[in-house]
Structure 1
Amino acid sequence: MSAISGRGATVNQGSARFALPAREADGDWLDARDSLDGAAPPLRTSVTPERARTIISRNQSPDIGFDRSINPYRGCEHGCIYCFARPTHAFHDLSPGLDFETRLFAKPEAATLLRRELAAPGYVCKPIAFGTNTDPYQPIERDHRLTRACLELLAETGHPVTITTKSDRVLRDLDLLHAMARQELVSVCLSITSLDPRTARTLEPRAPHPARRLAAVRRLAEAGVPVQVSIAPIVPQITDHEIEALVAAAAAAGARGIGFIPVRLPHEVAPLFRAWLDAHYPDRAAKVMAVIQAMRGGRDNDPGFHSRMRGQGPWAALIAQRVTVAARRHGLGRERIMLRTDRFRPPLLPGTQMSLF
């Protein structure tokens, strides 16, 4: 398979788990008109409104540091080839491949749904995580502003929130983040996988340049917003040589802590990743997969709790040791930033009378 300009996946294969049919990687009639010279048509991005019934997702995973999250969007235009959320598109009869990064869904009533759920009797406040499945600051947030609308409500109610993103677009909400940080209600994590623009462009083709992400770390830190950097994922034989440089750059930008995850390849992500390797790194594809399998118990993926986030064996241990040593050298912590929950006040619903006390 050959690379497709501006996209991560090289194929649009269906899902064997759900008998999903294969899809042709083509665009609309405008694409056909624009490619009369015989070149492959560019893939356009479409956004469809999704009428969700709820907005807070719950999980009970013992190796994840939160029990609730919000995803204003489904699918992600950043196109990260390794994204563990790709298989979720198969649930909607769409391909985890190119469909995931070109056929997106937005939840226009996200803030309205959030207000209703936060106001529900018996709601117990705990930090809500953004960026757990798809990036809350992917390019379509520029126009839809759904993440912004949810953050405004969380700020209004004094509700804590954590944000993980690959985009410096998070700075557009710096006014909210600064105010929430003063009340210990927010932390931000910037994901940076490589300092090499060429590597980043193939791994995550529509995510911002690594330098822009580091600049965002610096601005957040200067504004008093607790910010960390996540090297997620670390791809052996492709980005692992950058571990020490990434930790040093994060520290220089003002990050408070560092985290990492070795690359994970669940379900349909594994064949998509293999096809991507063949297109971009044919000289080392076999070596990359051999190391990944060495960290995953001889398989492409290890779904076990705890081990899925750290891997196992000598390769995984070496990566963990390198991150730990580099973090210690630069004074970066690994502890979780604690946020306050005692400031939360349930929001009023439309038509609700305010309390006299």
Structure 2
Amino acid sequence: MIPHPIHGRGAQSAAVPQRFGLSAREADGDWLDAQGGVDGPAPKLRTTVTEERARSILSFNRSPDIPFDRSINAYRGCEHGCVYCYARPSHAFHDLSPGLDFETKLFAKPDAARLLRAALAKPGYKPAPIAMGTNTDPYQPIEARYRLTRAVLEVCLETRHPVTITTKSVRVLRDLELLTQLARLNLTAVSISVTSLDPRLSGLLEPRASAPAKRLDALAQLAAAGVPAHVSVAPVIPAITDAYIEGILEAAAARGVQTASWIMLRLPHEVAPLFREWLGVHYPDRAGKVMAIVQSVRGGKDNDSRFCERMKPRGVWADVFRTRFRLACQRLGLNRDQPALDCTRFVRPEPGGQLRLF
């Protein structure tokens, strides 16, 4: 167990990945003494942002497990610091830690909107909903400075291209006027993930994301503005957050939300040891129980990464969560109507950046 929990961050260590043969980083005694003593607290971590000159912005996939085939991530890493985030291992490709580096050493792609316009201008491009928020939150704190998500939404509105958003931040409301215009054309839907109703628990799991009550209020404002608002109960963490399934759905339905989904906790690659470490720091009394249930729904392993299996937990506990979610949705009238976004309005931009007039 770590003697000094790192407040304001999800990961409790750097946890450098070993699957790429990188050496582990450890602070020696001299460095610790310089910071105030071996037993003293570590210095406050600072967030840094590196601007990345990407050559493309649209990522395509053929996964049978997810309902979209293309996505945009204008940022790499995420300051929200959700300890369970399945995207953490992607930071290892930069020789950075999926632990603290993922939430403190961020990357931004300033050319995101220009690159999207160029991709949409290609003669062979065929429109389908673009998903934002698949590998990093599009409304994490640095969006206030870079406004890359807003710029992408502006391109989508100009070209009449459908786009979906998944976030844990009320910063999404800063673009409410854009989202409202897109919604009037049936071009957008916004999903807000709510993990629990306990602000203290949320602060431990997702330290720099918006508090649960604020996320629910954001859902209400989106729904009131006519923007299709979706609540994602994700992830469900057994013996930690599963008690809130029905409460989250009830609170969302009361605020005008009409659709909902849930996702079982996934622990790919370095996320598993990071999560175990987090349990040891914050919930040592039930760490064994939590991991026993996690393994019971993943065939005895921490994670099952196989296509057609990774998003389908199995076993008694999975059936219990699935049934509870289904019955609550039926009782609350959720998921009765889930209209598809409109792909027929798309107007291809000219390669030089202008839209075709005729």
Q: What residue in structure 2 maps to residue 174 of structure 1? A: 176
Partner SS state of residue 134, structure 1? coil
Letter in 2 for 1:204: E
Letter in 2 for 1:275: E
Query: Which of 293, 309, 312 in structure 1 is aligned with 2:311?
Result: 309
- CA drift at 1:34: 11
Q: What residue in structure 2 maps to residue 228 of structure 1? A: 230
Deviation string 1:208-247 (CA, Å, 9 cap, x unpaired) is 1101100000000000000110011000000011111111
Partner SS state of residue 311, structure 2? helix
Letter in 2 for 1:146: L
Structure 1 contact 214–249 (Cα < 8 Å) conserved: yes
Q: What residue in structure 1 maps to residue 23 of structure 2? A: 21
Letter in 1 for 2:196: S
Using structure 2 for the length normalisation, give the TM-score.
Answer: 0.94
Deviation string 1:6-25 (CA, Å, 9 cap, x unpaired) is 00000102111111222358
Structure 1 contact 130–164 (Cα < 8 Å) conserved: yes
Would you say 1:268 and 2:240 are equivalent positions? no
Query: Which of 291, 294, 298 in structure 2 is aligned with 1:292?
Result: 294
- CA drift at 1:306: 3.1
Partner SS state of residue 310, structure 2? helix
Q: What residue in structure 1 maps to residue 345 of structure 2? A: 343
1:25–1:225 distance in 2 versus 1, CA, 3 Å: farther
Structure 1 contact 83–269 (Cα < 8 Å) conserved: yes
1:45–1:334 distance in 2 versus 1, CA, 3 Å: farther
Q: How many residues align?
A: 352
Structure 1 contact 247–326 (Cα < 8 Å) conserved: yes
Letter in 2 for 1:348: E
Would you say 1:62 and 2:64 are equivalent positions? yes
- CA drift at 1:355: 5.6
- CA drift at 1:334: 6.7
Give the percent of matched residue pairs that are identical in Structure 1 and Structure 2.
61
1:205–1:112 distance in 2 versus 1, CA, 3 Å: same
Letter in 1 for 2:134: T
1:317–1:345 distance in 2 versus 1, CA, 3 Å: same
- Stretch of structure 1 that moved more, 228-237 or 343-352: 343-352
Deviation string 1:100-144 (CA, Å, 9 cap, x unpaired) is 000000000000100100001110000000000000000000010
- CA drift at 1:356: 6.9
- CA drift at 1:304: 2.2
**How far apart are the structure 2 equivalents of 1:205 and 1:351?**
40
**How far apart are the structure 2 equivalents of 1:307 and 1:245?**
28
Query: Which of 151, 155, 178 in structure 1 is aligned with 2:157?
Result: 155
Q: What residue in structure 2 maps to residue 256 of structure 1? A: 258
Letter in 2 for 1:191: S
Using structure 1 for the length normalisation, give the TM-score.
Answer: 0.94
1:335–1:307 distance in 2 versus 1, CA, 3 Å: farther
**How far apart are the structure 1 equivalents of 2:88 and 2:153?**
25
Q: What residue in structure 1 maps to residue 212 of structure 2? A: 210
Would you say 1:183 and 2:185 are equivalent positions? yes
Structure 2: unaligned runs, 5 residues or longer: none
Structure 1 contact 166–213 (Cα < 8 Å) conserved: yes
- CA drift at 1:307: 2.7
Partner SS state of residue 308, structure 1? coil
Structure 2 contact 349–356 (Cα < 8 Å) conserved: no
